[in-house]
Amino acid sequence: MKTKMMLAAATLAAALASPALAADPTGLWQTPTNGGQVRIARCGEALCGTLVTSNHIRADANARDEHNRNADLRNRPLRNLPMLTGFTGGPTEWRNGSVYNPADGRTYSGSITMTNDNSLRLRGCVVAPLCKTQTWTRVQ
């Protein structure tokens, strides 16, 4: 009996000490700004993400990427706009990706870190240490 209790205690301690693997980052995520929702998917070996909806899209279904620094791209619709490209790595952290921000028309280098099954941190940098981090929450 004493051996079983010690074995159970050791198993519990090992389970608590080992890091839990975060969930797969693919799915629909709520951003903290502008009511945005971004769908993250696998694009080959990398992760990518597209803007599904936002306050701007809800107000005008034909909203365009008007702040894009490239004038040739300013007529693209915001709905389904590629925002995340080229993130590689895993299973809990993806690096070397690009984050496009339609609010200012700029692209930033970025990383994605899963903090738990339903939360991730997206970090975008002009140049380190000039970075901004957002926490996104899983919608589905």
Query: Does residue 131 have a pLDDT over 50?
Result: yes
Query: Reduced to 3 states, what is the DSSP secondary structure of residue 17?
Result: helix
Placement of tokens 């993806």 in the chain: 94
Average pLDDT (80-84) is 98
Give the mean pLDDT of the chain.
87
Predicted TM-score of the model (pTM): 0.82
The pLDDT assigned to 83 comes to 97
The per-residue pLDDT for range 85-107, each reduced to its tens digit, is 999 999 999 999 999 999 999 99
d(CA 29, CA 135): 10
Q: Quickly state the pLDDT bin for 133 (edges 50, 70, 90).
A: very high
Percent of the chain with pLDDT over 70: 84
Q: Quickly state the pLDDT bin for 13 (edges 50, 70, 90).
A: very low
The pLDDT assigned to 68 comes to 97
Contacts of 90 (CB under 8 A, 6+ apart): none
d(CA 14, CA 69): 52
Query: Does residue 45 have a pLDDT over 70?
Result: yes
d(CA 113, CA 120): 6
d(CA 70, CA 74): 7
Query: Does residue 119 have a pLDDT over 70?
Result: yes
Average pLDDT (16-39) is 79
